[in-house]
Amino acid sequence: MNNKPIGIIDSGIGGLSIASVLIKKLPKESIVYIADSKNCPYGQKSAEEIYKLTKKMVDYLLSKNIKLLLIACNTITVTSIEKLRKYYPNLPVVGIVPVVKTAINNSKSGKIGIFSTKVTAKSKYQKKLINEFAKENTVISIGSDNLVEKIENPDFVSIDKILEKELKPFIEKKVDVLALGCSHFPLIYSKIKKKLPNVLILDSAGAVVRQVERILNNNKILSNSNKARYNFYTTGGLNAIGFHVDKLTKSGKIEKISLL
Ligand code: DGL
């Protein structure tokens, strides 16, 4: 047993879509969440810069005594998970990637889509996943240009316009399952669904939370507390994170920090 918190990181508020599922499935676990909203979006930055920014978040979380790191960001996972595991050998690290295998298992036509950031779409990590599970299938992978930025600082008119353009190839190629490869995108699930009414849309939250549970279990560090605590930190503005913390996690203390 171990009642220390789980540390969760994302480039911004997107990872709250994962945190909310974790809170529901593992209600005894405490969490400390950091949104690097000041530097969001990460999806067009270099791998080196993403790693440098990520390390600052992890060091901050270590000062909060976390027992496990959950990377609730596909872009950080595909660029940095291996380096983070090497640099912090004693810290269990769980990452998030699009659920390619589940998408294929649920597809009738064998045509699936993956919608992510540009960095994730181009990454070796994602190519490996496709080769492993969907080599024989048609996979349409689209890296969005600036959707994350518009979700982070909500601009719903721009979001609709971007979706209209960027979801078109999925419609044209008639994909029947779409895997969301960016944790910001579940926050606009209903907008995506409206444009793709006949497509099954999958996110990675359930799979990732099951993986967290497995690792806590294997390491015998599950919590037995009845007083889970939720602390949210942001390097950016408090409005968007406040709105989503209220909506998705119902409670929690929110604070603005600077990671120098
Ligand atoms: N939520 C991040 C992801 O899952 C967004 C990355 C970004 O900031 O561009 O990829």
> Could you tell which of 116, 141, 183 is best to mutate to test the pocket of ligand 1, judged by most ligand atoms within 8 Å of the CB?
183
Q: Is the CB of 205 under 6 A from ligand 1?
A: no
Q: What is the DSSP string of the chain?
A: ---PPEEEEESSSTTHHHHHHHHHH-TT--EEEEE-TTT---TTS-HHHHHHHHHHHHHHHHTTT-SEEEE--HHHHHHHHHHHHHHSTTS-EE-----HHHHHHH-SSSEEEEEEEHHHHH-HHHHHHHHHH-TTSEEEEEEESSHHHHHHTT-HHHHHHHHHHHTHHHHHTT-SEEEEESTTGGGGHHHHHHHSTTSEEE-SHHHHHHHHHHHHHHTT-----SS--EEEEESS-SHHHHHHIIIIIS--EEEE----
Residues of CATH 3.40.50.1860 domain(s) within the chain?
6-96+206-256, 100-203
- The whole-number average pLDDT for the span 15-27 is 96
Just list the catalytic residues: 73, 182
What integer best gives the mean pLDDT of the chain? 96
What is the dotted CATH code of the domain comprising 6-96+206-256? Answer: 3.40.50.1860
Residue 21 has pLDDT above 90, yes or no: yes
Confidence of residue 252 (pLDDT cuts 50, 70, 90): confident
- The whole-number average pLDDT for the span 79-102 is 98
Residue 154 has pLDDT above 80, yes or no: yes
Task: Give the pLDDT score at 239.
Answer: 87
- Does domain 100-203 bear CATH number 3.40.50.1860? yes
Atom of ligand 1 nearest to the CA of 40: 8
